[in-house]
C-alpha cells in the first residue's frame, strides 16, 4: 500500500468521521507525560515550599506540564510525522485512520490554546514557560523549522523542554520569583542529560528517518555510535551534579546520585550489546535511576535552601 493511501488526509473519505476517543488518548501519549510532570514536581521540592500551602499550583502545574503541554507536543508531532509514521509505525492513530482527516491537527491546536490559557491562569512565570514550550514543540515538528531534521538539536530541545523548563517553572510558580541559581544549574544539567534519553527514543524509527531525510542521531551516526553518544550525554551531566552537590555540602545526596549513576553505567554496558533491541529495556530501567537522581538532587537543593 502506498504511503498516501495509508494516511488520513483532508480529502480522505474517512475525514468526516469523528475520531475514536481511545485513539485520541493514544495520540496524546500519556506514557510521555511523566517526565515533565516529574520535573515540575522536582522543581517544587527543590524550593522547600510547603505542599499544603501550594496544592492548587502544584496540581494545576502538573496538569499543565503533562496532559496539556506534553500531550499537545505529541499530537503536533504525530500530525507533522504522519508520512514517516506510515512507514515506521502504521498502527499509530493518524496513519491507521483511527484519527481521520485533519482531526490530529485540530486536537494539537486546541491543546495549544488550552495550555496557554492554563499557563496564563498560573501567572507570568508559568505563562512565559508555557509559551516557550509551545513554540519549541511546534518548531521541533513543523515546517519550515522542523528541528527534528537534526538529531543534535532535536534531542537537546526535547531534553531541555521535558526536564529543565518544567523544573524551573515549578520552582518559580510556588515562589512567585526567579529560582535560585543552584536550581537553574541542576535543572539545566538534567535537561542536558535527557539528550541521551531522547536519542535512545529515536532508535525505533531509524528506517523512516533515513527514507524521509530526518537526521536523528541513529540515522546520522548509526545505532552503535548513537548509543555511545546517548550514554555519554546522560552520564557526564550527572557526574557534574554529583560534584556540585558535594561542593554544596550535601554529601549524602551526592553519594546517592553517584550510586544511581553507577547503576546506570552498569546497565549501559548491557545496552551497548544490542542498542536498538535493548533501548526500550533501558528506558524502563536506567531511566528510572535517572529520575530518582533528579528527586534526590531536588531534596539536596531543599536542604541547601534551608541552610
- pLDDT tens per residue across all 307 residues of the chain: 333 334 444 334 344 588 999 999 999 999 999 999 999 999 999 999 999 999 999 999 999 999 999 999 999 999 998 988 888 789 999 999 999 999 999 999 999 999 999 999 999 999 999 999 999 999 999 999 989 888 899 999 999 999 999 999 999 999 999 999 999 999 999 999 999 999 998 887 777 777 777 788 888 898 899 999 999 999 999 999 999 999 999 999 999 999 999 999 999 999 999 999 999 999 999 999 999 999 999 999 999 988 6
Give me the long-range contacts of 199-202 (CB less than 8 A, separation at least 24): 199/151, 199/155, 199/226, 199/229, 199/230, 199/233, 200/227, 200/230, 200/275, 200/279, 200/282, 200/283, 201/279, 201/283, 202/151, 202/155, 202/226
Task: Give dist(CA 18, CA 39) in Å, integer.
Answer: 34
Q: What radius of gyration do the chain's Cα atoms show?
A: 20
Task: Give dist(CA 306, CA 227) in Å, integer.
Answer: 40
Q: Say if residues 100 and 49 touch (Cβ distance below 8 Å).
A: no
pTM: 0.91
Q: Say if residues 24 and 93 touch (Cβ distance below 8 Å).
A: yes
Amino acid at each position: 500500500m502506498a504511503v498516501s493511501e495509508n494516511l488520513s488526509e483532508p480529502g480522505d473519505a474517512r475525514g468526516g468521521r469523528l475520531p475514536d476517543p481511545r485513539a485520541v488518548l493514544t495520540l496524546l501519549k500519556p506514557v510521555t507525560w511523566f517526565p515533565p510532570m516529574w520535573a515540575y514536581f522536582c522543581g517544587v521540592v527543590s524550593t522547600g515550599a510547603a505542599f499544603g500551602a501550594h496544592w492548587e499550583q502544584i496540581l494545576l502545574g502538573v496538569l499543565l506540564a503533562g496532559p496539556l503541554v506534553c500531550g499537545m507536543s505529541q499530537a503536533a508531532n504525530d500530525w507533522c510525522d504522519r508520512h514517516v509514521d506510515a512507514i515506521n509505525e502504521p498502527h499509530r492513530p493518524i496513519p491507521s485512520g483511527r484519527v481521520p482527516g485533519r482531526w490530529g491537527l485540530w486536537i494539537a491546536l486546541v491543546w495549544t490554546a488550552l495550555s496557554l490559557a492554563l499557563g496564563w491562569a498560573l501567572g507570568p512565570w508559568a505563562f512565559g514557560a508555557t509559551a516557550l514550550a509551545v513554540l519549541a514543540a511546534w518548531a521541533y515538528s513543523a515546517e519550515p523549522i522542523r528541528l527534528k531534521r537534526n538529531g543534535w538539536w532535536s534531542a537537546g530541545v526535547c531534553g531541555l523542554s521535558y526536564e529543565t523548563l518544567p523544573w524551573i517553572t515549578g520552582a518559580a510558580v510556588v515562589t512567585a520569583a526567579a529560582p535560585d541559581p543552584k536550581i537553574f544549574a541542576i535543572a539545566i544539567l538534567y535537561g542536558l542529560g535527557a539528550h541521551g534519553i531522547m536519542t535512545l527514543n529515536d532508535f525505533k524509527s531509524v528506517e523512516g528517518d533515513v527514507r524521509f531525510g530526518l537526521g536523528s542521531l541513529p540515522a546520522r551516526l548509526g545505532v552503535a555510535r548513537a548509543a555511545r553518544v546517548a550514554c555519554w550525554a546522560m552520564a557526564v551531566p550527572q557526574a557534574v551534579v554529583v560534584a556540585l552537590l558535594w561542593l554544596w555540602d550535601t554529601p549524602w545526596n551526592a553519594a546517592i546520585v553517584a550510586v544511581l549513576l553507577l547503576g546506570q553505567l552498569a546497565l549501559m554496558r548491557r545496552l551497548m550489546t544490542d542498542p536498538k533491541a535493548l533501548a526500550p529495556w533501558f528506558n524502563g530501567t536506567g531511566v528510572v535511576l535517572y529520575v530518582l537522581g533528579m528527586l534526590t538532587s531536588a531534596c539536596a537543593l531543599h536542604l541547601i535552601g534551608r541552610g
